[in-house]
A and B are shown apart, each in its own frame.
Chain A
């Protein structure tokens, strides 16, 4: 049963600490997305990769957020230093293809709380 996995599922940390979230896309998918969901803003795109290359990270606060794909089976999203306003659920999604038939599949999310 192919699915996107994310770790950790929950993270509570103190302001100023580094947070690393990990995502394993569905095997064979070539596009990976990071989203953040809050009650106020809904789902916002933070960054996405195609064939491991970053295509757009304009949704991320560059001074504290970074996203990478060390290999095709792992995507990471790092926040350093974390702030209370970063508290949200972070979703990873993956898909395949470049054209209009690119359906996205979402992971279960990482619920981050920054105290």
Chain B
């Protein structure tokens, strides 16, 4: 059974720092991996989708990498801003089936 783990559970950094969020999954046979952002009391916003054949995806200050063989993905946020404060969720798609989610990393960027 696929399991997704995100470490750390919470992270607090000063504004301007570059930071890395980690995601690991137990079964490397995945179709894709998706990173989401969730603001308090809100739904999930898709940030980046990496197909199993890809190594990374970039969107603005965000860069997500995927190492399928080792079961790991990282989300890199450059020059963090207070507006980046949110919970970041990683989810993998184990085949033609729904996503399996991690429990998220709660990020606080302090001005």
Interface contact B103-A42, CB-CB below 8 Å: yes
Binds A, one of B11-19, B66-74, B91-99: B91-99
Do B34 and A103 touch (CB < 8 A)? yes
Tell me the complex Cα distance, A107–B93, Å.
19
| Chain B residue at minimal CB-CB distance from A101 | B51
Contact across chains for A106 and B89 when beta carbons are under 8 A apart = no
B34, B42, B104: the one within 8 Å of A42 (CB): B104
Give how many A residues have a beta carbon under 8 Å from the other chain's beta carbons. 22
- B58 to chain A: which residues have CB within 8 Å? none
Give bound CA distance, A100 to B98, whole Å. Answer: 11
A68 to B51 alpha-carbon distance, docked (Å): 30
Q: Are B42 and A105 in contact (CB under 8 A)?
A: no
Write the A76-102 contact mask toward B (1 if CB under 8 angstroms, else 0).
000000000000000101000011111
Contacting residues, chain A, for B51 (C-beta < 8 A): 100-101
Q: Which of B78-105 contact A (CB under 8 A)?
A: 89, 91, 93, 96-99, 101-104
A48-B98, A91-B43, A108-B43 in contact; A102/B93 too (CB < 8 A)? yes
Q: B99 contacts which chain A residues (CB < 8 A)?
A: 33, 45, 104
Q: For B46, list chain A residues within 8 Å (CB).
A: 103-106
| Residue among A99, A100, A105, A108 with max Cβ neighbours from chain B (10 Å) | A100
* A101 contact set on B, CB distance < 8 A: 32, 51
Cα A105 to Cα B32 in complex, Å, equals 15
Do A42 and B102 touch across chains, with their CB atoms under 8 A apart?
yes
- Measured between C-beta atoms, what is the minimum distance from B37 to chain A in Å? 11
Distance A93 CA – B36 CA, assembled complex (angstroms)? 13
A88–B89 CA distance with the chains assembled, in angstroms: 18
With beta carbons under 8 angstroms apart, the residue of A42, A99, A108, A111 that contacts B31 is A99
B42-A108 in contact (CB<8A): yes
Q: Which residues of A contact B (CB under 8 A)?
A: 4, 33, 42-43, 45, 48, 56, 91, 93, 98-109, 111
The residues of B with any CB-CB pair to A shorter than 8 Å are 31-32, 34, 36, 41-46, 49, 51-52, 89, 91, 93, 96-99, 101-104
Q: Can you pick out 27 interface pairs between chain A and chain B where the beta carbons lie within 8 Å of each other?
A: A33-B98, A42-B101, A42-B102, A43-B89, A43-B91, A43-B101, A45-B98, A48-B98, A91-B44, A93-B44, A100-B32, A100-B51, A101-B32, A102-B31, A102-B32, A103-B34, A103-B46, A103-B49, A104-B46, A104-B99, A106-B43, A106-B44, A106-B46, A107-B43, A108-B43, A109-B42, A109-B43
